[in-house]
Amino acid sequence: MAKLKIGIVGCGNIATTKHLPNLAKFPDRCEIVAFCDIVEEKAVKAKAKYGTPDAKVFTDYKELIKMDLDAVHVCTPNRSHSEIAVAALEAGNNVMCEKPMAINSAEALAMVEAAERTGKLLTIGYQNRFRVDTQTLKKMAVSGELGDIYMAKAHALRRRGIPTWGVFTNKFEQGGGPLIDIGTHSLDITLWIMDNYKPVAVSGSTYNTLGTTLAGDEQGTEDHWDPKTYEVEDAAFGFVKFENGATVFLESSWALNTTDERQAMTTVYGTKAGAAMEFPMGAKGTDRVLRVNTVQNGRQTILEPNVSEGKSSSADLIFNYPGAEKEAITWLNALEGKGELVVKPRQAYTVTRILEAIYEAANTGKTVYIKD
């Protein structure tokens, strides 16, 4: 089988620390033949490290999607996700788009409809579905071991973790702060484990307090952010009710005076058992643990399945993206017709729809009702 030809639109941090290093692990299956960035130097640099000798460099994605490609990866700021993805699909390309799917539900739906209309593959970069702990919990849910999951908490909390690179604090480009950036991951894995994509009512609150008031030493971090240019929320919380009566509480922050820093994690409560993703002894930056609260032989029991990620097959993992290698394998398999997508477009659309509703509820002070 000929190698898959892939083009990258957006050669910033997420492309060079997640997408490209993981695709590069499979040189016998794919090659990166096109790079695009509005800052040409970034595309040139990415090509030098990851591209074929004759790879093309562009500053306009419309030129890249004219090429004969098997797939396009969209790794740009949130505002342009839908525009680029829809254009790439319409041009006959399969698309891997980085999370969040889009800046709002209307643009996310346009992506879904474009994929369905063209028959091309579309998936979203929710690599946390592919972590060992997430996969283990998903299997438990599917097998019925947890019973019916009627309540869950989606955790995306940082104490001092405001991104100081890129355009993360630019509301126009990103659409929001931690809710749309990291809250999207925790909500995605929570809905996937619950297999519940029918929200009916959403309430929420957002806060912009520490992001615009803490300066210098008050921030407690060496990499200071500028409060004068901080435009998005620093914390957001949402409460979602579903058609079957289930509920999800979503907590997200970049800056919050909390002792419980958990990101891209979930806690689920079922009729037979419950489970929580945690760090060992409250530590950060280590393998997660999965603690399952159940009953065995008539006695309450806490189980801890082995969910260690093990060692990566490559030393070129610059950033810590557990699950990203498996995400790349699943994507390549789907492109080659050897497997199904795990992250489906309409699932990602529902995630975006809920995030949008939380922002709307926070702005209006009213519950937002979602109807199909």
pLDDT digits (tens, 9 = 90+) for 31-45: 999 999 999 999 999
Under 8 Å CB-to-CB from 261, ≥6 apart: which residues? 157, 158, 159, 284
First to last CA, the chain: 42
- List helix spans (H) across the chain: 13-14, 20-23, 40-50, 61-64, 81-90, 105-118, 132-143, 171-174, 178, 184-194, 210-213, 324-335, 345-364
Q: CB within 8 A of 180, min separation 6: which ones?
A: 78, 100, 103, 174, 355
CA distances to 165, 212, 222, 284 from 226, rounded to whole Å, are: 11, 8, 13, 25
Q: Identify the three-state secondary structure at position 89.
A: helix
Mean pLDDT score, 253-269: 95
pLDDT level of residue 310 (50, 70, 90 thresholds): low
Q: So what's the pLDDT on residue 287? A: 76
Residue 85: enclosing H or E segment and its boundaries?
helix 81-90
**CATH class of the structural domain 4-124:** alpha beta
Rounded to whole angstroms, what are the CA distances from 196 to 207, 226, 345?
A: 28, 39, 15
- Count Cβ atoms below 10 Å from residue 272 Cβ, excluding itself: 13
Q: What is the mean pLDDT of residues 176-183?
A: 98
Tokens of 250: 């979503």
Taking the C-alpha atoms of residue 41 and residue 39, their distance in angstroms, rounded to an integer, is 6
- The predicted pLDDT at position 221 comes to 87
Question: Given this model, what pLDDT does residue 223 score?
Answer: 84
Q: What is the pLDDT of residue 311?
A: 54
Give pLDDT, residue 265: 97
Task: Note the pLDDT of residue 318.
Answer: 39
- For residue 135, is pLDDT > 70? yes
Percent of the chain with pLDDT over 90: 87
Distance CA 10, CA 72 (A): 11
Name the pLDDT band for 372 (thresholds 50, 70, 90).
confident
Picking from 96, 94, 104, 60, the residue whose alpha carbon sits closest to that of residue 75 is 96
Q: Which amino acid is at 364?
A: T
Dist CA 121 CA 89 (whole Å): 8
Q: Report, as an integer, the average pLDDT of 242-269.
A: 96
Is domain 132-310+350-369 given the CATH code 3.30.360.10 in the classification?
yes
Site of tokens 């438990």? 140
**Residue at token pair 């990566």:** 312
Mapping DSSP to helix (H, G, I), strand (E, B) and coil, where does residue 119 land?
coil
Residue 315: how many CB atoms within 10 A of its CB? Answer: 8
Q: Are 218 and 257 in contact (CB under 8 A)?
A: no
Measured distance CA(223)–CA(171) in Å, rounded: 20
Q: What is the mean pLDDT of residues 179-188?
A: 98
**pTM over cut 0.75:** yes
Q: What is the mean pLDDT of residues 195-224?
A: 93
Domain residue ranges of the chain, discontinuous segments joined by +:
4-124, 132-310+350-369
Return d(Cα 364, Cα 259) in angstroms, integer. 30
Place of tokens 């509301």: 171
Q: Taking 80 as the threshold, does the pLDDT of residue 319 lie above it? A: no
313 pLDDT above the threshold of 50: no
Reply yes or no on whether the pLDDT at 15 is more than 50.
yes
Looking at the chain, the whole-number percentage of residues with pLDDT higher than 70 is 96
Of 312 and 282, more confident: 282
Res 314: pLDDT: 42
- Mean per-residue pLDDT of the chain: 94
Give the torsion sign (CA, 218, 170, 15, 290): positive
Confidence check: pLDDT of 17 > 80: yes
What mean pLDDT is predicted for residues 66-86? Answer: 97
Asked if 193 and 141 count as a contact pair (C-beta separation under 8 A), the reply is yes
Does residue 272 carry a pLDDT above 50?
yes
> Is 287 or 111 the better-scoring residue by pLDDT?
111
Q: In the 8-state DSSP scheme, what is residue 208?
A: -
pLDDT of 285 over the 70 cut: no
Q: Indicate if 132-310+350-369 has the same CATH topology as 4-124.
A: no
